[in-house]
A = this chain, B = another copy of it.
Amino acid sequence: MRIKVLKNVLEKNDNQAQINRDLFKKNRVLAVNIMGSPGCGKTTLIEALINVLIPSYRIGVIEGDYAGTVDAERLSRYHIPVVQLDTSSCHLNAHFVGSALDHLPLRDLDFVFIENVGNLICPAEFDIGDLLKLVLYSIPEGDDKPLKYPLMFSQADAVVLTKSDLKPHFDFDVKKVRESIARLNREFEIFEFSKKSHSSIKPIANFLESRFRATVLKSYGDL
């Protein structure tokens, strides 16, 4: 009998996630994990949040993509620190996010937005050490998605229904979505967002600001 056991070259994901989380807390940074399918509007939401929050807050971004740097290039005009992770995988893991943190000036930031790889399954299975999870999901994807991807929706601190200007063109029942998520998740917020409605980003930005004050400033005030 010859059995050789090899551990993954990466340290166990959960240990590294805790290291990342402690680093965010120590630096009083609200790290927001932004998840959703390809094309659901993750980068567009990040752009809208930067526009609203940048006058009052210091923001950094970690862009995770299966390949390429298109999303990071879109963000370059904001003159904020951006790290692009070229994952070659279906999800971000804690180790790879940890390596991005070496390249961000955490002490000088309030928010770090982490755009995960476009995928409703695997990112939910790998803790990256975030302090808040936003799950995005666009009206054209259909109102049955929470039933099909329960793990993702059960973890969301907030769900953002994107491309909400398209509602008149789809048979999409927001109440049904809210009820489906409520069966999975005891406490979550739900927002509707369209890049064509400048006011629609405000409630989401307010939510993040209140979480920043409650989570980062209060809870870790005595670190």
Against B, the Cβ 8 Å flags (1 = close, 0 = not) of A33-58 are 00000000000000000000000000
This protein's copies in its complex = 2
Count, chain A residues at interface, CB 8 A? 41
Partner of A72, one of B5, B13, B80, B96: B5
Judge whether B103 and A6 touch: CB under 8 Å.
yes
A-B contact pairs, 28 of them (CB 8 A): A1-B79, A3-B69, A3-B73, A3-B75, A3-B76, A3-B82, A4-B82, A4-B83, A5-B69, A5-B83, A5-B86, A6-B84, A6-B85, A6-B99, A8-B85, A8-B86, A8-B87, A8-B88, A8-B96, A9-B9, A9-B10, A9-B95, A9-B96, A9-B99, A89-B93, A90-B90, A121-B121, A122-B122
- What are the 4 closest A-B residue pairs judged by CB atoms, nearest first? A1-B76, A5-B84, A4-B103, A8-B88
Residues of A within 8 A of B (CB): 1-10, 12-13, 69, 72-73, 75-77, 79-91, 93, 95-96, 99-100, 103, 121-122, 125-126
